[in-house]
């Protein structure tokens, strides 16, 4: 088997869990939870956030030159399962990040299943409180902070 064929097969198997529809009582159901599901604490996503944050503070004017040194109190806040009208599974997460200047800041991030480059892998979007100079995620990172007015405790994908 060629290298390309083996890679394609491995990628297909790895993405299989995100490509299958998640079972949910209602198509528009949102599942809120308090504890980390494992996905939010996945080192792949945390490393990607750390690297992108480093790039952000170097290339956005007037941001302090700091780095993320640690993630603390990682927790999942909302899971939106994949459904017919919402084909992307989304896991919303929240944590505290310790910065190299000694300060701790809130971070909110979103993991989107199957939304990596060319639809392969997963994507992560994040916002550190006080570091969204251009309001990409609205004031105080509101885009990545789901409301908690309709609380339903449940589990998320792994």
Is beta strand 123-128 parallel, antiparallel or unpaired with respect to 104-112?
Answer: antiparallel
Domain of 107, in residue numbers: 26-144
The verdict on residue 151 lying in a domain is no
Q: Does 16 reside within a domain?
A: no
Q: Write the pLDDT tens digit of every residue in 62-118.
A: 999 999 999 999 999 999 888 888 778 889 999 999 999 999 999 999 998 766 555
Cα separation of 111 and 94, whole Å?
11
- 10 lies in a domain? no
Total domains in the chain come to: 1
Report yes or no on 157 lying in a domain. Answer: no
pTM: 0.68
Whether 117 is in a domain gets the answer yes
Q: Give a yes or no: residue 54 inside a domain.
A: yes
Owner of token pair 């949102």: 30
- Position 149 in a domain: no
* 36 close to 75: Cβ distance less than 8 angstroms: yes
């Amino acid at each position: 088997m060629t290298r390309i064929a083996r890679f394609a097969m491995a990628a297909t198997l790895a993405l299989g869990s995100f490509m299958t529809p998640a079972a949910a009582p209602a198509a528009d159901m949102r599942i809120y939870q308090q504890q980390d599901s494992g996905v939010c604490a996945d080192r792949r996503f945390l490393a990607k956030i750390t690297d992108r944050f480093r790039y952000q503070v170097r290339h956005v004017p007037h941001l302090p030159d700091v780095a993320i040194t640690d993630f603390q109190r990682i927790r999942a806040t909302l899971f939106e399962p994949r459904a017919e009208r919402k084909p992307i599974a989304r896991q919303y997460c929240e944590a505290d990040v310790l910065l190299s200047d000694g300060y701790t800041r809130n971070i909110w991030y979103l993991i989107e299943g199957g939304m990596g480059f060319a639809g392969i892998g997963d994507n992560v979007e994040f916002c550190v409180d006080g570091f969204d100079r251009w309001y990409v995620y609205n004031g105080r990172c509101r885009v990545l902070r789901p409301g908690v007015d309709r609380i339903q405790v449940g589990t998320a994908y792994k």
